[in-house]
Structure 1
Amino acid sequence: MIYWDTGTVVAIVSSRESVQELEIAMRGGSGAKARAIHYTDAFGPVGLGDTVVLNTTAVQLDLGTGGRHFVLSVLRPLHGSEVAAEEAAALKARTIEERKGHLMKLRYTPLQRSVLAAEEQASPHHGLFQDSFDLEGMPVLIGELHSMLPAAVCWLRHAHAVGADGGSDDAHGGKKPLRIVYIMSDGGALPIAYSRHVSSMRERGWLAGTVTFGHAYGGDVEAINKFTALIAAKRVLKADVAIVAMGPGIAGTGTPLGHTGVEVGELVNAAAALGGKPVVMPRISFAESRDRHRGISHHLLHSLSLIALREAALPLPDSLNGHHKQLIREQLESSGLHQKHRIVWVRNINRQEIARSQESYPLPVTTMGRGLAEDPGFFLGVCSAAQYVLDGMPSES
């Protein structure tokens, strides 16, 4: 079932890269105003007074994941208008490489689009996917939620600059900056442009590049699957560390395996098979009202016990209080993770230092609407995994 409506653009709330957030006067129903997302890579930017067709399904169903109106099309002449002429010029200006792409994403839908995959024959990187598939021990930080990305990047940059000796806290502490590459799966949002965090970190040069695979699209490098995405991060973007997580949102049903977070186990297998070092960012919370997500989330417990066939490191924060650590130990034992994976209790991760790591980041970092003060366990877990990666890297990095 798809719910449709139309409306008129009455305000452009914000604009970044290929995304506009609009205020729409709705035509159907009550005629109230509503917010909508418009991706300008499909129809170009809209202007005030434009009439748009909206997919309102997620809002009608009162969903969190995907719970926005999205512009499907713009109802204006395709030829002869000033806007149409601008769009035609922009299309013509696209690089030759982009126009050579023949990999379709969102296949067999009205919005299917061609991209140039790094693996394609027309790609300048085609040869990198022909012979060696070795990640050469590249650490791969694997997360279930998109909110883990900014928390991990902030910590990696901060801790790498400060160092174990508590030294300089400037941009890189006089060290060679880490090349952090974000790989976005299609377990959540499909357009990487939807992520404000990715846009913000790219603007600041905090990411060396991005890769989108599956039906996710819009990364600096496009890839067909998780294996080639990892190879692209290492061999095309020269990553020191890759962070893999879905885009904003997660689909779930409250059942052990009925959620898109099962990809964590699949990513462990892929990273290990290619000679990388899979390190899982634990989803921990003691602020959750849902019992299945208290302590270590049941999502992660099942993904690592049933889906992951190779060993991963699972760093955990040693700074948790005794009661919380005991609950996690019981979960590890009952799920068998203590025998299947490398459990590491990481010391010297605390809330004060996590807050410092996020001081220079302009956006609020939250998970399920909760920040560091409301849900410290989540951030302690993510930063413990990020610190574990730093601890295993050569000192000259």
Structure 2
Amino acid sequence: MTSASSPTPVSRIRWRRGRVTELGRSWRDAQEMTVEVPGDGAVRALAHPSLVGSPALGDDVLLNTTAWAQQLGTGGYALVVAVPDRLPPDPTGPGHLVKNRYSPLQVSVQGVDEQQTEHHDLIAAAEDLGGMPVVVADLHSALPAVLAGVHVTDPALKVAYVMTDGGALPAAFSRTLDTLTDDLAGVVTVGQAFGGDLEAVTVHTGLLAARHVLGADVTVVTQGPGNLGTGTPWGFSGVTAGEVCNATYVLGGQAIGALRISEADPRPRHRGVSHHSLTAFGRVALGGVTLVAPRGLGSALGAQVEEDLAGQPERNFVEWVDSEGLDEALAASPVTLSTMGRGLAEDRAYFLAAAAAGRYAAQLAIFGLPPV
């Protein structure tokens, strides 16, 4: 109870109530809809049925419109918090890992690393990744490009995806993952992220699960869709890419950095090699990481990338990888490639760099040692 002398708490959520007037696209565990909200009009909204049930036409829904009101790009939906007149049934499945902890929407899932699962003994006994290549990127948009680079090199390689909690927490929010279901060995959500084929407490057990449960030859790790940035070197959710490299090093994997390279980004700090890549891989990844740059960037951008990477610490290696065939692989991706609102034609360098990291990882998986 708030005492007389305590200030009234300031609301951190923009609450609205409205009625569903149209149902839109659905994928994985996500349902788009239009909700008519008094005072706001038609609002673009999203529900995760496993959390709140499946809203139907005419249902009244309770919405969190905070991100919608800010007109955010990736996450600019109003989110359905509840269908108050038609609540879903109580959960009956096993699992005691609580994610989105202590928020009003915390959920319980069964973790691959908890005692009651069939995989607990395997994960408890696993000590390393056996040299598995782990491609680490700071943005979710790199995933389909990395995958294209792996599979154009060897389509038989099994690729797992580990999603960290720097962006979206529900894996179901990602239409990319829905499209890539048949191309991935599986999805592991770690930390506060949830909704993968497997759940894990930490990125460490997530990597071990990718290797030993999913049988991955290569694993890709990024945050979920969206990110949080402040225009400062350290205030970016993707800085944790460096911590993923550290986890990979500790577990005996081979960390490969998918560099964020652009000649189209209007912000100078992201031209050439983004300052976020230089911070995460150059200053946070203390165990060392192989940074992959693609040949074929063009002389001016190639020279800038070479200059940007010249100051890397000795523990990091820079590998220039042949890009032959990567443009075609990217164009053939089942996912419509997009990063910061730019597609393949607008920001080829970004996707080419991610695909080159995937090719390098595939070569490591095939030959076991860095290719000469």
* TM-score for both structures, normalised by structure 1: 0.86
Letter in 2 for 1:337: Q
Other-structure match for 2:69: 60
Matches of 2:355 and 2:312, distance apart in 1: 20
**What is the one-letter code of the residue matched to 1:375?**
D
Q: Which residue of the partner structure matches residue 317 of structure 2?
A: 342
Aligned match of 1:181: 160
Q: Name 1:6's counterpart in structure 2.
A: 17
Q: Offset of 1:59 from its aligned partner?
A: 2.2
SS in 1 for 2:208: helix
Do residues 15 (structure 1) and 26 (structure 2) align?
Answer: yes
| CA distance in structure 1 between the partners assigned to 2:234 and 2:159 by the alignment | 30
Q: CA deviation at 1:252?
A: 0.7
The answer as to whether partners of 1:305 and 1:340 remain within 8 angstroms in 2 is no
Report whether the alignment pairs 1:319 with 2:330: no
* CA deviations over 1:15-71 (Å, ceiling 9, x no partner): 2232100011112x24x2121010000222110000111111112223335221111
Gaps of 5+ in 2: 1-11
1:370-381 counterparts in 2 under 5 A?
370-381=342-353
Instruction: Give the length in aligned residue pairs.
Output: 357
Is the deviation greater in 318-327 or in 299-308? 318-327
Does the 8 A contact of 1:119 with 1:125 survive in 2?
yes
Shift of 1:265: 0.6
The one of 150, 159, 178 equivalent to 1:199 is: 178
Which residue pairs with 1:112 in the alignment?
106
Instruction: State the 1:211 CA deviation.
Output: 0.2
Please show how residues 250-265 of structure 1 align to structure 2 within 5 Å.
250-265=227-242
The 3 A distance-change label for structure 1 pair 342 and 119 is: same
Render the CA deviation track for 1:56-113: whole Å, top value 9, x for unaligned.
Answer: 11122233352211111112154xxxxxxxx43xx57x6xxxx221110011112111
**Alpha-carbon distance between aligned partners in 2 of 1:344 and 1:249, rounded to the nearest angstrom:** 28
Distance 1:342 1:395, change over 3 A: closer
Shift of the 148–101 alpha-carbon distance from structure 1 to 2, 3 Å rule, reads: same
Counterpart among 111, 125, 132 of residue 126 in structure 2: 132
Number of the residue aligned with 2:266: 289
Return the alpha-carbon distance in structure 1 between the equivalents of residues 61 and 163 of structure 2: 29
* Paired AA for residue 29 in structure 2: S
User: Aligned partner of 2:360: which letter?
Assistant: Y
Q: For 1:316, what is the secondary structure of its paired residue? A: strand
2 CA distance for matches of 1:77 and 1:293? 47
Q: Is the 8 A contact 1:105 1:112 kept in 2?
A: yes
- Kindly indicate whether structure 1 or structure 2 has the higher relative contact order, using CA contacts under 8 Å at least 6 residues apart: 2
Residue 71 of structure 1 aligns with an amino acid whose one-letter code is V
Structure 1 residues 345, 359: closer, same or farther in 2, change over 3 A? closer
Which whole-Å deviations, capped at 9, do the CAs of 1:203-231 have from their partners, x for residues lacking one?
xx111111000000001110001111111
Of residues 285, 299, 309, the one that matches 2:286 is 309
Distance between the aligned counterparts of 2:137 and 2:211, measured in 1? 18
Q: Give distance in 2, aligned partners of 1:387 and 1:100.
A: 39
**Is the 1:141–1:243 contact (alpha carbons within 8 Å) kept by the matching residues of 2?**
yes
Q: Give distance in 1, aligned partners of 2:308 and 2:104.
A: 45
Q: Evaluate the alpha carbon distance shift between residue 4 and residue 138 of structure 1 in structure 2; reply closer, same or farther with a 3 A threshold.
A: same
- Amino acid in structure 2 at the alignment position of 1:189: A
Distance 1:8 1:379 in 2: 40
Counterpart CA distance in 2 for 1:185 and 1:255 is 21
Q: Is the 8 A contact 1:185 1:247 kept in 2?
A: yes
How far apart, in 1, do the equivalents of 2:170 and 2:126 lie? 30
Equivalent AA in structure 2 for residue 138 of structure 1: M
Moved more, 209-218 or 123-132: 123-132
**Partner in structure 1 of residue 7 of structure 2:** none
Q: Distance in 2 between matches of 1:77 and 1:357?
A: 46
Measured against aligned partners, the alpha-carbon deviations of 1:181-218 in whole angstroms (never above 9, x if no partner) come to 0100001000000000101111xx11111100000000
Question: Structure 1 CA distance, aligned partners of 2:106 and 2:348?
Answer: 41
Task: Provide the secondary structure at the position in 1 that maps to 2:83.
Answer: strand
Structure 2 contact 248–254 (Cα < 8 Å) conserved: yes
SS in 2 for 1:368: coil
The answer (yes or no) to whether the contact 2:261–2:272 under 8 Å persists in 1 is: yes
Correspondence 1:70 to 2:79: yes
- Aligned residue type for 2:158: R
The one-letter code matched in structure 2 to 1:14 is R
* Matched letter for residue 339 of structure 1: E
Alpha carbons 2:149, 2:326 under 8 Å: kept = yes
SS at match of 1:100: coil
What code does the residue aligned with 1:11 have?
E
Residue 308 of structure 2 is matched in structure 1 by 331
Aligned residue identity for 1:112: Q
**Is 1:231 the counterpart of 2:225 in the alignment?**
no
Offset of 1:148 from its aligned partner? 0.5
1:141-186 CA-partner distances (Å, limit 9, x unpaired): 101110100111123222324xxxxxxxxxxxxxxx2111010000
Identical-pair percentage: 41
The alpha carbon displacement at 1:387 in A equals 1.1
Cα distance in 2 between the residues matched to 1:77 and 1:38: 14
- What residue is the counterpart of 1:164 in the other structure? none
Which whole-Å CA distance do the structure 2 matches of 1:265 and 1:245 have between them?
11
Q: Supply the AA of the counterpart residue of 1:13.
A: G
Q: State the shift of 1:287 in Å.
A: 0.3
The equivalent position to 1:216 in structure 2, one of 193, 208, 211, is 193
Relative to structure 1, the CA distance from residue 362 to residue 256 in structure 2 (aligned partners, 3 Å threshold; closer, same or farther) is: same
